[in-house]
Amino acid sequence: MDELLNYSLKENALTSFVEWFEKAETVEQNAFAMAVSTYDHEKNRPNTRYLLYKGISDNKIVFYTNYLSPKAKDLSDNPEIALAFYWHVSKKQVRIHGRVSKMSHEDSTSYFHSRDRESQIASYLSHQSEPISDKAALLLKYNETVEKFEGKPIPLPENWGGFLVEPYEYEFFLYGDNRLNDRFLYQLKNQKWEVSRLQP
């Protein structure tokens, strides 16, 4: 435990992650950027994209997306997910493996209406990742949606909401001199975090 404290790590993986994130938030250009990897069974290949980390709820990591998007379809087939944070200034990264579940409709609605109106409109009109002829067609859809809901609240789209990631593994990685990096693997076993140091 004394060695972990030297790296701002605690016995609890989530507590360690939150502390690392809060420090990164003060120095990084965008500490919230989070790589999200899923597996596409239809094409037999992994998919990775960047989303925004949206905090912790009930000890689970939160992000939001279109439930008809490729990532959501992947997660419907296989709820296993991998996340990664890279903080250049901090010289740290965190890798996370976990399982996802959908956020409640009530919590998704609450977050949706906390967003700025322009973002609500964009989420309402988008059929994420589906083809569209050109940018002009997208702008037309946007303007039509603005006009449709002028003076009215934007309803939560049925196909939009939050995902909750319940981690069972974290890797905390600190870049060191001469590539002698420090790596600590947390694995959840019998409801307790077991920690091991990994070679660079």
Rounded Cα distance between 125 and 121, Å, is 6
Q: Express each pLDDT in 77-111 by its tens digit.
A: 999 999 999 999 999 999 999 999 999 999 999 99
33-53 confidence digits (pLDDT tens)? 999 999 999 999 999 999 999
Q: Among all residues, which ones are annotated catalytic?
A: 179
How many C-beta atoms lie closer than 10 Å to residue 173's C-beta?
Answer: 20
Q: What is the pLDDT of residue 177?
A: 92
Nearest of 172, 179, 190, 193 to residue 8 by alpha carbon:
172
The CATH code that applies to domain 2-113+159-198 is: 2.30.110.10
Residues constituting the chain: 200
pLDDT digits (tens, 9 = 90+) for 66-85: 999 999 999 999 999 999 99
What band does 1 get if pLDDT is binned at 50, 70 and 90? low
* Residue 197 buriedness (CB in 10 A; 0-12 / 13-18 / 19+): exposed
For the chain, domain boundaries: 2-113+159-198, 117-155
